[in-house]
Amino acid sequence: MSAPTVVDTRGQACPLPVLKLRKALLAGAPGERVTLLASDPQAARDVPAFCEEAGHRLVSRDEAPAGTWRFVVERG
């Protein structure tokens, strides 16, 4: 089993977090999970919309006190 994929886009503005998430998901097999770290508040809206449009499953979404969002996405 491979190590979990973590994509750290903290400090990067949208659309980069979604674009990098998409690239990481396409590199994996269906059912694999990717964790995205993002600091752009726009990601809180863009990531769920991307998952819905692209057929991926948003497993979890949390916001850390420092303003970092953590998303776990399963490839569809």
Show the domains of the chain with their CATH numbers. Answer: 5-74 (3.30.110.40)
Tokens 């770290």: give the residue: 37
H helix or E strand, kind and range, residue 36: strand 33-38
* pLDDT value, residue 73: 98
Q: How many Å is the maximal CA-CA distance in the chain?
A: 33
Cis status, amide bond into 15, omega within 30 of 0: yes
14 catalytic? Reply is yes
* pLDDT value, residue 63: 92
Please report, in tens digits, the pLDDT of each residue of the chain (76 residues total). 567 899 999 999 999 999 999 999 999 999 999 999 999 999 999 999 999 999 999 999 999 878 899 999 999 9
**At how many degrees (to 10) do helices 16-27 and 43-54 cross?**
40
- Which position among 5, 8, 10, 14 bears the catalytic label? 14
What DSSP state is assigned to residue 13?
Answer: -
